[in-house]
Chain A
Amino acid sequence: MACNHRGIDRRELLRNFGLGILGTSCARWLPSLAAEIAQDPRRRRHCILLWMSGGPSQTDTFDMKPGHANGGEFKEGATSVPGLRFSEHLPKLGKFGDQLAVVRSLTTKEGDHGRGTHLVRTGHSPAGEVAYPSIACSLAKEMEYESVLPNYVTVAPPRDVNPAAFEPGFLGARYAPAIVAGSGGPPSPGSASMTRAKPVDLKMEDLELPQDVSADQAARRLALWNTMEKKFLDGRHTNAFETHNALYRKAADLMTPDVRKAFDLSTESDKVRSEYGNGVFGQGCLLARRLVERGVPFVEVALGDGLGWDTHQDNFRRVKKLSEELDAGWATLMGELQERDLLKDTTILWISEFGRTPQINGNAGRDHFPAAWSCVFAGGGIKGGQAYGKTSADGATVEEKQVGIGDVLATLSTALGVPPDHENMTASNRPIKIAEGTPIHDILT
């Protein structure tokens, strides 16, 4: 395995896997593993990617232009760091200003949603013929560790914008994320809103039994499966057979109530759930906290069903609403991670496919703008309390410390302890780096 941090023999671990439905429960080793993690000097790190689909307006969030015609309706709001100001609609997040590093000098070259999404998520424009993996897949692969939980969990990914940008590409399907969606089919714009009365429930794809299969029936199936497997494997000592069998056991473990509990947000208090916001994003942030607590290395949460941040019209009303949802989910997540002493090991990146024009168009909207936009780092490995780089007074150009998407991805990789120049080989033996760029050392600890 790529990373066997704690020197546990993989075989041994697989053998010790409980079989949940089939026999021993795995509940026993979950806490013990957590204790082991805490003791490990090379402690585990986590990443939470907050993906803002559609392209949020930097001018109305993290790179305000007060006093300029491009500035728009919003006022600046203070943060816990003097001189560092965000939008007035991000007040809770402002309290964590000392943990946040805003990069205000990002320049990219793709102004189309599909192409921009591919560029930002893989580090490459879609023209090339290598199937580049999403940065999340390649980082999660390097951060992999033996656990019954998936290595990379993603909440409500807007895959349709550019499917390849959300996939493991040449790394192969086993590095694909476990997909979590709001229950009750694809979320409609209404259901994602945090103003709904009750919080949404989240479900991991294929984790639940098919509708027409009862728990008893599933137990009967697995029991028969187990009997037959034992007979088949008895006397056949082939590694590949054992791997297949162990994976199914692991999947069966994942389906046990004890483990599924990780995804069951109803065990959280109503107060906590509503603090995060009742929509998919807020509850996704809550799930991210629960998964990080349980050792999952990589979690992604998307905000903006489909292309929610694509505010060509009615920018200010929509951005205000989205900001409130963002503020509740993200700030509560920061606070809860901090309380649990997990923030120092968890790097958060807030990013999208591009920013929006500083100019306001005739529909009180802003359009696609890759030339000068912002992303935000927070938490583990990040020197917070600063804005890096600078745009011009009208926001149209980068004036200081311009960075490209490769630099941003290399920074994320470095913050997580993964060398960005680590190479994966394609099937035709072409080495591909995790990120091609220079880490922004000024914002790394």
Chain B
Amino acid sequence: MQLKRAYFWSLVAALGLAPFSIAIAADDSTEKTGASSESTARSSEQMAARVDELMGQLWAADKIEPAAQSADGEFMRRVYLDLNGVIPRVGDVRAFLADNNPNKRAELIDRLLNSPRYSTHMATTWRNRILPLGVDAQRGPQAVALQKWLRARFAKNLRYDNLVGEMLLTLGGDELGPALYYQANDVSPEKLATNTAELFLGVHLHCAQCHDHPTASWTQRDFWGLAAFFARVRAPEDRNNMMRMSYRLIDADQGDVMLPNSTKVVSPKYPGGDEATDESDHTRRLQLALWLTSPDNQFFSRAAVNWAWSQLFGHGIVESLDDQESVNNQLLSELADYFVKSNFDLRNLWRTLALTRAYQLSSSGDSTKPPEHFSRMIARPLSPEQLFDSFAILAPLDDAAPRSDYSDPNAPNTRLAESPLRTDFIRRMRPPPGDPAEYREGTLQALLLMNGKTMSDVTASGRSSVLGALEAPFMSDNDCVQSLFLAAFARQPNDDEAKSCLAVLADAKAPGERSKALGDILWALVNSTEFAFNQ
């Protein structure tokens, strides 16, 4: 494994100042995908069992009774939303619930990880992580280009260390994608240091930007030392950059950062580590990328694992990587080690986490237990993308008609456009930053969901694929209600719920009335709290 890594970086070093070619080399080389890693690392089943063991010890020590295992439908909807970003189709739900294969959950996880929707969903997730809120609106085509760039890499399951390295070393150019990270941070060393530390080291270095804090583990030297690695990245103000035809980045020979309100130049220094030297043949950026993505850099692997866990559980393994006291430190260390040993294989990491008992616990149960015990699943609201794409599972929502806007018709990458209906929905639904388990929308968002065009399309009998299937003559009222529940919640209605819905259908016997009533039931389900959350 070390060999493969060394091979990649020797390529980087050999090509020296032409990371654009590196990107090509990385694309072509299957050496760097993490797929063939079983020989050295444990299987994800073994690692998941180890996680179960550690969680079991935690629960026993704190005398906590974890929730029951999730029902099949509950698990299915959850893992679909987490790994593919959509709810399952009603046909797939029926098949999964009817399947008696004891290994069906693991098989479902594998199917989802190999679906094209996996790469799309991961690209969306990372795009939202990388870009500050609202940047999408200003930089539509660039954001879509970044999404495509990410998507291609998740589809190949590019090693995580190489993915991050490639992004940090981008020279931009016609390849708009990863350069947007630099553009969105104004190519500012301070902003790049702040965000790089948060995204890839999982630490909040910016607190040390102005001065040292007596209680914090990071010093002002750490912050500015990291910023210094970005001090020589430039976006030349040439014609192409100005015209936004492309975005080119260069590594200049000169450029330094200084402490605030001083003329003291700060040399590059790895956070919590050694100083770097400009004597090296490598650019400052390359030196940083090599250090950052090194298997020995525990912050890198721990940050990745902690973030992945928080995606699936609504809460990180630890609140902060600086917290040495957390009850979950052992768990975090072992998972991080495993991630490194399995060649930074992202698919394998998702598979491992999704196989754990903790991930497959039910979300119902006592909510007073501390979240870091993971003794039941924490419900999280669907993201705007998950919501829209799930609606699109229920009814086709494509709108081919282009909307007139102020964008330049001569701009390149005109195909870098997303569905205007979807973009508009996401813009109007994007919640403010905050706790991923909280519902952070407002009344206007509720109105949009109740009365907006998207909901009309979902619940219109002529359009909705789910409602369309209910028109068949052999479908009894009971069958219809059951189908709607499976479509929306991936579960059967209970007697009470079925009764309420059947009463609505009983009042609507005329042919036109009946399809309207079915639309009304779907409206009530899709607007429900249960639908709005991934549980």
Q: A residues bordering B, Cβ < 8 Å?
A: 114, 126, 128-131, 150, 160-164, 167, 169-176, 178, 205-210, 212-213, 217, 220-221, 224-225, 227-229, 231-233, 235-241, 243-245, 247-248, 250-252, 254-255, 425-430
Contact = CB atoms under 8 A, between A and B. Distances in A.
B323 interface: no
B498 to A, nearest CB: 11
A246 to B, nearest CB: 9
Contacts of A213: 456
A230 B203 CA distance: 42
Interface in B133-173: 133-135, 137-138
A174 B429 CA distance: 8
A124 to B, nearest CB: 12
Interface stretch (B262-270, B295-303, B349-357, B430-438): B430-438
In the A-B complex, the 4 residue pairs with the smallest Cβ-Cβ separation, listed nearest first, are: A131-B134, A172-B432, A174-B442, A251-B446
Among A169, A237, A241, the one with the most B-chain Cβ atoms within 10 Å of its Cβ is A241
Contacts, number: 183
**Chain B interface, DSSP helix/strand/loop, else mixed:** helix
Given A212-B460, A228-B524, A174 B379 contact: no
Interface stretch (B72-80, B84-92, B95-103, B525-533): B525-533
B445 A174 contact: yes
B524 to A, nearest CB: 4
A150 B379 contact: no
Interface string B429-457: 11111000111111111111011110110
A164 B137 contact: yes
A428 B138 contact: no
A443 B195 CA distance: 42
B191 A428 contact: yes
Contacts of B206: 429
Contact of A247 (B184, B432, B441, B523): B441
Given A173-B431, A231-B497, A428-B195, A248 B440 contact: no
Contacts of B183: 129
Contacts of B437: 240
Contacts of A217: 516, 520
B198 interface: yes
Contacts of B474: none
Interface of B: 132-135, 137-138, 183-186, 191, 194-195, 198, 204, 206, 364, 367, 379, 381, 405-406, 427-433, 437-448, 450-453, 455-456, 460, 494, 496-497, 500-501, 504, 516-517, 520-521, 523-525, 527-530, 532-533
Contact of B367 (A160, A162, A208, A238): A238
A150 B382 CA distance: 24
A114 B134 CA distance: 17
B132 A251 contact: no
Given A131-B133, A173-B442, 11 more contacts: A129-B138, A150-B444, A163-B137, A176-B444, A206-B447, A208-B451, A224-B500, A229-B529, A238-B379, A240-B381, A427-B132
Nearest to B364: A236
Contacts of B442: 173-176, 247
B106 to A, nearest CB: 29
Contacts of B525: 228
Nearest to A133: B134
Nearest to B405: A160
Nearest to B494: A231
A162 B134 CA distance: 13
Contact of B520 (A160, A176, A221, A425): A221
B433 A172 contact: yes
Contact of B532 (A176, A209, A244, A250): A244
Nearest to A171: B432
B298 to A, nearest CB: 23
A224 B195 CA distance: 46
A170 B133 contact: yes
A225 B526 CA distance: 9
A172 B204 contact: no
Contacts of B523: 221, 225
Given A241-B533, A428-B198, A429-B206, A170 B444 contact: no
